[in-house]
């Protein structure tokens, strides 16, 4: 199978609440969280923070205080990290589409990711943000 397909396709998810009754499952979950889960979520949080800070800098600093080249770099970084987060959301949707659509929090996530990304694309196309 193509390695790029693993970015989209997730393995089947068989979940029952009985798993948490067994001490060995609890130990396994704690080990996985401590081994790489915490680092994984910290990296995602860091990428999201950079994504939002870049967009915040572009939208709040007036045009006469930041050059177009710096603004362009920040907009490109915003678009790049926005696509990374959109891939995360798309993977969640592919994995369990009904659950994903039913949750209003996922709609907030999509809005928080797509609004800055699309706005950055429009601003790059128009050569200046309409502030």
Q: What pLDDT digit, counting tens, does each position of 16-41 carry?
A: 667 677 788 888 888 888 888 899 89
The C-alpha atoms of residue 87 and residue 46 are separated, in whole angstroms, by 16
Q: Are 57 and 129 in contact (CB under 8 A)?
A: no
Whether residue 128 is predicted with pLDDT greater than 80 in this model: the reply is: no
Write the burial class of residue 121 (CB in 10 Å: 0-12 exposed, 13-18 middle, 19+ buried): middle
Radius of gyration of the chain (CA): 19
Describe the crossing of helices 68-95 and 104-126 by its angle, rounded to 10 degrees. 150
pLDDT tens-place string over residues 47-76:
999 999 999 999 999 888 998 899 999 999
Grade residue 7 by pLDDT with cuts at 50, 70 and 90. Answer: low
């Amino acid at each position: 199978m193509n390695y790029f397909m693993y970015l989209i396709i997730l393995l089947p998810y068989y979940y029952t609440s009985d798993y948490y009754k067994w001490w060995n499952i609890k130990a396994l979950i704690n080990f996985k969280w401590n081994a790489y889960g915490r680092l994984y979520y910290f990296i995602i949080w860091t990428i999201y923070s950079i994504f939002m800070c870049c967009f915040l800098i572009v939208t709040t600093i007036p045009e006469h205080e930041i050059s177009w080249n710096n603004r362009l770099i920040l907009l490109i970084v915003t678009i790049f990290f926005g696509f990374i987060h959109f891939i995360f959301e798309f993977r969640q949707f592919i994995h369990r589409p009904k659950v994903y659509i039913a949750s209003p929090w996922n709609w907030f996530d999509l809005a928080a990711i797509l609004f800055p990304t699309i706005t950055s694309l429009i601003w790059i196309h128009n050569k200046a943000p309409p502030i």
